[in-house]
Structure 1
Amino acid sequence: MNIKKWIAVPLILLMVALTGCQAVGGFDVSKNLLGTLDVKSQQSTEKISLKLTPKEGITQGDQEIVDLINSISVTVDEVKVQSEELASAKGTLHIDKYNLPFELALDRQGMAIQLEGAKKPYYISLNSQESLSGLPAGFDPYVYSKDVRDLTKTAAALVLKHAPNPSTISATSVTEEVYGEKDKVKLTRLHVELRGDELVTLVKPFLTNLAKDEAGLKELISQVIDFTKNIASSINVEGADQVTSELNTNKEKLVNEAYTEVKKYLDLAVAQYDVGVSTLYAQSPEIKTVLSSNTVLKTDTYFDEKGNVRKSLSDLTVALPEVDSLPVKSFSIVTEAQSWNVNGSVTADKVDISNGVIDLNKRAELTPGATLRNFDVNSPIYNILKNDLEITKVETTFDPKDDYYVLENRGGTAFIPLRELTYELGSELKWDATAKQITVVDDITSKTLKLKSGSKQVVLEGNTLTLPQAPYTDEYGSLYVPFKSVAEELGATVTRNSNGEYVLKRD
């Protein structure tokens, strides 16, 4: 049973931020929640922690994993949002006895992440060929950021208009200390509690109300069509002009047709909702545990007199089904945040990338060896990767009777396809067609080993060595090398166990 499935299902409960459309105690919930979408700049701090509640009688190994996960938390000391394109954050990742500081910076080009002890920051490109694959050449998604924001706000307003309040919701006036303020601040505390079983009952009336709002749905559909038209009119691809013309000429007709389809499916969803929920529970009874009264989201959101969110606290506890392979019965995610300088003048920090980066889009830069070489050997992260996570460790058993590995024995020496050996060790192969020579680049040490088919002589970092037997090429073009000798030159060992199997190991 995949634990990710049970973690993913209940995260819909976080959508409680879009519930509570009715005024509570004179506080306009909808208006203030929508106002958060207008925040363009601010500074904030946040802490996120995770807690697993183990079952009774779990194994020691499972308990150790639970304890390790429960030790994980993230403290973000300061987030600086300068605009929707520029932001930065500084904080610390806490794991067991380790505190791992980090910095990150985001701009239109990508996100740079500097970890303490790293020689180069890691980088995620946001305009690389991979991230923009499928989009027209020269397409710039940032051009449409305002359209996206407006569309999001219209959709959110429609949801808020029809979402019923949960049974536990209140708004009270309080005076609280807020980060960045010298004096206490007058705030409105919006408290919401939502259980998993209540969420199920709230969906049907929401769909019912939404299906009746012809004007609201048509407004949203119209805005989607306008957005599509703006994109079509600005890209240079075949057929774009025709699309733009069609949307201009037949917009009203398209809105009506789309509304008819949406209304049909909403009505159908309402009519079949109860049966659908019953069928879901019958087919997947474990989901009924996830969406039970034991799954609870509690939030406290503090708004200032301008409607800005200044503090927030949330605690999501999710009940998990009784599954043998699942050693926990629930998990909780707790977040705390405070904000200041909302829509004020903010300058995001930068991460220095002038000396190069480790590109997370390139697999060659993410091998175990490349990863370790990017960290100082005395840094906590190096110790975690090398000793705790053992990312360089290899232990593979080869049965000489198993045709999959195609081990060969020649003159008492075990041979293995070089490609198979280097795959297990994560090494890189380079072919020199002129010299008819293969160079093996060791992933951990970056040392090079050069060899040729038919020659016992190999060159390791400029030094010539002699193998017990020469590598050879079989009838299919695969190069075979003496298993033990070549593995040892690449920092591994080869032994035989009591079953006669070969064991390849590297610490």
Structure 2
Amino acid sequence: MKNIRKSRFGSWSKWLILALFVIAVGCQSLGGLDLNRALVAGMDTNSMQQSVTVSLHMKADPFKLSEEAKAMIELWNDAKLDIRSMKMESWDRMSLQGQLTLAKGVIPFQAYMSGEERLVLKVEGLSRAIVIPLTEPDGSTTAFTALTDKLQKEYQAKGIDKSMASLIVSNLPNPKTIKVTSGSETIHNENVNVYKLETSLDGTELVPLAKTFIRNLTKDDDNFKRFIGELYDVLWPVLKPYLEKDAMPSAMLPESPLGASLGDKLGGLKESLMEAASDKELAVDIIHNTAKQILYFALIGIDSASRSEEPAIQTMLSKQTQVKARLAFDQSLNLRKSDLELTIPAPDGGKEGITAIQFNVQSETWDRNKPVKADVLDAGQTPFVMGQGRSPFELLEEVDPESLLGQLIAFEKKQNEPKVVNIPLHSLEQYAPDGAYMRDGVSYIPLDELASYLDADVVYKDDSITITGIWDTIIELASGSSEAIVDGEAYEMDGVVIKQGERYDVPLRFVAEQLYCEVFYDADQEMIELVLPED
């Protein structure tokens, strides 16, 4: 079994929280609340208890919804993920208890991560617990994993995440709308004196905030170089022994952390790079200058994208995109309660019926950096162990089809089944016209009929034809010709375009396949089967 890299929920969750906060609140002090200090303090968490609720709401125009979209919305609209209890004993030992609430009912679940060993998951509707090993079956780890684990420990010990957070938040501007007041909040049945921060921004503020942040960062040379220096002090001592070896096998191979043998291929270049990397001042200067160049390109790219006339981009950068945050910090500047709301308008302007998607994340935190004991979850005598030659598809056999989880999987499977169109195939003498017919060994179909199956647009001009598919593929044809121009490139079809009165018949297989269909022939049924592309 290949090594399964351990997922540290605490690690990614704190960065997610930080990202949401800094987008919403910037970095400057307000009303006695030092936002920089508060946000960075949130990175220094080794244990805690927390409850989190994530909810989804889709705004829709029922008159524009397809039957499939209606079914999807009926199932998922106002879905809610409740993590009622998250007990973080340490970064690698924690437990979760929660449930997924849908219109049809509730699916409870439990999870437990036991140090360096394994993750245990129980979900209502599964006949057995799932066990995800976090090491090799013999308890060993690959060289690459050993390297990354060592880097992770050094990274945490030196507080690099806090240094990075400080660099980011100290250069972020505040949004236009933000205020801080003092008051109290009930948090896990406890009345707590807090700083209450409320802020909001819309899509029109995103680009100016991003550009200001990048400009600030490129000007903050001292702090930027200091952070790179701290990162160098963590990375270089760990990487250097591997880089000094003659052979550096690939990270894709378990026996080595860094790359296929480079010594013979790079010759003196390797020694030059090693010498430059060993000089901290030179290495920091090189990385700093390179990073600034990347930021300059990012600044130009963001500005250029904001000027695009692409409707989807303009919609995202409009007032319809909304971010709202209500945060409560205790007197020690620990985040104790949050309510974050994100509204994203549909990129297509609601043409498909869904006009906007709204996410809401609410959380309460207590017992931060106090003794916390995770709830041990017993996997039972015969758990389903991921890996060990088992695929995720085998896990589906453990699902009770009568359970809500089973019904949900069946619904999703049905929704994702390819759409198939069966077209009767006639001989030329029997053609009505309906369906397709054979002529000189080639199957033909009226273009308008084929286009209706594929949701393609067809424009006729004299005897020239332009077909535009759902993925914007453009096919240009001409009556009496076997040449097709597909996205500007010429192809020879297996037959010519035939004009039959007011209609045009085209070689079915060629046109369908160029528009991303799969074409099959059932000789017994004398039927052509088109598997349509997903739109």
CA contact (8 A) 1:164 1:205 kept: yes
**Other-structure match for 1:207:** 214
**Other-structure match for 1:94:** 101
SS in structure 2 of the partner of residue 211 of structure 1: helix
CA contact (8 A) 2:207 2:303 kept: no
CA contact (8 A) 2:22 2:172 kept: no
Equivalences for residues 140-159 of structure 1 within 5 A:
141=149, 144-148=152-156, 150-159=159-168
* Deviations 1:337-380, CA, capped at 9 Å, x for gaps: 1111111101112322352433455784433xx44542346533
Match among 340, 346, 357 for residue 314 of structure 1 = 340
Q: Distance in 2 between matches of 1:317 and 1:500?
A: 47
CA contact (8 A) 2:22 2:169 kept: no
**Other-structure match for 1:418:** none
**Other-structure match for 1:109:** 117
CA contact (8 A) 2:323 2:341 kept: yes
Distance 1:17 1:165, change over 3 A: same
**Other-structure match for 1:224:** 231
Letter in 1 for 2:223: G
Equivalences for residues 204-353 of structure 1 within 5 A:
204-233=211-240, 238=245, 246=275, 249-267=278-296, 269-270=298-299, 272=300, 276-279=304-307, 281-282=308-309, 284-322=310-348, 326-353=352-379
Q: Distance in 2 between matches of 1:335 and 1:219?
A: 34
Question: Could you tell me the percent identity over the aligned residues?
Answer: 23
Single out whichever of 339-348 and 141-150 deviates more from structure 2.
Answer: 141-150
Distance 1:35 1:236, change over 3 A: same
Match among 50, 60, 64 for residue 44 of structure 1 = 50
CA contact (8 A) 2:129 2:379 kept: yes
SS in structure 2 of the partner of residue 22 of structure 1: coil
User: Is 1:162 aligned to 2:171, yes or no?
Assistant: yes
Displacement of 1:44 in angstroms is 0.9
- What stretches of structure 1 of length at least 5 have no aligned partner? 1-10, 402-494, 503-507
Distance 1:71 1:205, change over 3 A: closer
Distance 1:50 1:219, change over 3 A: same
SS in structure 2 of the partner of residue 162 of structure 1: coil
SS in structure 1 of the partner of residue 43 of structure 2: helix
Letter in 1 for 2:287: A
Distance 1:13 1:316, change over 3 A: farther
**Other-structure match for 1:122:** 130
CA contact (8 A) 1:190 1:301 kept: yes
Distance 1:293 1:378, change over 3 A: closer
**Other-structure match for 1:31:** 37
Displacement of 1:222 in angstroms is 1.0
Q: For this pair of structures, how many residues does the alignment match?
A: 391
CA contact (8 A) 1:136 1:236 kept: no
TM-score when scaled to structure 1?
0.67
CA contact (8 A) 1:18 1:160 kept: no
* Deviations 1:132-151, CA, capped at 9 Å, x for gaps: 99963743516623515722
Distance 1:236 1:262, change over 3 A: closer
CA contact (8 A) 1:51 1:333 kept: yes
CA contact (8 A) 1:120 1:355 kept: no
- What stretches of structure 2 of length at least 5 have no aligned partner? 1-16, 249-269, 426-521, 530-535
CA contact (8 A) 1:303 1:310 kept: yes
**Other-structure match for 2:431:** none
* Deviations 1:217-268, CA, capped at 9 Å, x for gaps: 1112112222221321565982589799747741111112222233344445
SS in structure 1 of the partner of residue 163 of structure 2: helix
Single out whichever of 111-120 and 46-55 deviates more from structure 2.
Answer: 111-120
Q: Distance in 1 between matches of 2:238 and 2:124?
A: 42
Coordinate RMSD, CA, aligned:
3.8
Distance 1:391 1:135, change over 3 A: farther
**Other-structure match for 1:421:** none
* Deviations 1:415-474, CA, capped at 9 Å, x for gaps: xxxxxxxxxxxxxxxxxxxxxxxxxxxxxxxxxxxxxxxxxxxxxxxxxxxxxxxxxxxx
**Other-structure match for 2:404:** 380
Letter in 2 for 1:108: E
Single out whichever of 96-105 and 324-333 deviates more from structure 2.
Answer: 324-333
**Other-structure match for 2:87:** 80
Distance 1:94 1:39, change over 3 A: same
Q: Distance in 2 between matches of 1:201 and 1:394?
A: 43
Letter in 2 for 1:276: S
TM-score when scaled to structure 2?
0.64
**Other-structure match for 1:416:** none
CA contact (8 A) 1:232 1:244 kept: no
CA contact (8 A) 1:386 1:392 kept: no
